[in-house]
């Protein structure tokens, strides 16, 4: 552990970056991520105000998705690569695209 700490200090010196600068950068990145995430949610809500209900989104962060909703049943029939892409994204465009495809394939109104 001591060796790791020494290497980290050497890297910090080599980069001429202080811990406070690293923290400041992390804070800025976090704020940017939160801003983009909010914009994605707003874009989804503009097109699909009830998108959470449609996709069976968890009510809380630690809950899993509601696999009983039709969208989740439809998604379960897709390839594992597609499921992974949809389940791991935070892109409003990708989620909107999946909802549109689901509705089209299920013969539901847009």
Domain segments of the chain as ranges: 2-106
CA distances (Å), origin 9, targets 1, 4, 25, 44: 12, 9, 18, 44
* 45 and 37 Cβ atoms separated by less than 8 Å: no
Mean pLDDT in consecutive groups of 10 residues from the start of the chain, 110 residues: 81 75 90 92 93 87 82 96 94 95 92
Q: Count CB-CB contacts under 10 A for residue 3.
A: 7
pTM score, whole prediction: 0.71
């Amino acid at each position: 552990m001591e060796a790791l700490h020494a290497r980290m200090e050497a890297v910090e010196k080599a980069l001429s970056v202080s811990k406070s600068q690293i923290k400041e950068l992390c804070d800025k990145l976090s704020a940017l991520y939160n801003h983009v995430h909010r914009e994605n949610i707003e874009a989804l809500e503009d097109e699909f105000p009830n998108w959470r209900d449609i996709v069976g989104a968890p009510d809380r962060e630690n809950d899993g998705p509601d696999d009983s909703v039709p969208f989740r049943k439809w998604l379960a029939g897709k390839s594992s690569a597609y499921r992974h892409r949809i389940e791991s994204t935070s892109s409003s465009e990708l989620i909107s695209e999946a909802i549109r495809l689901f509705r089209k394939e299920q013969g539901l109104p847009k």
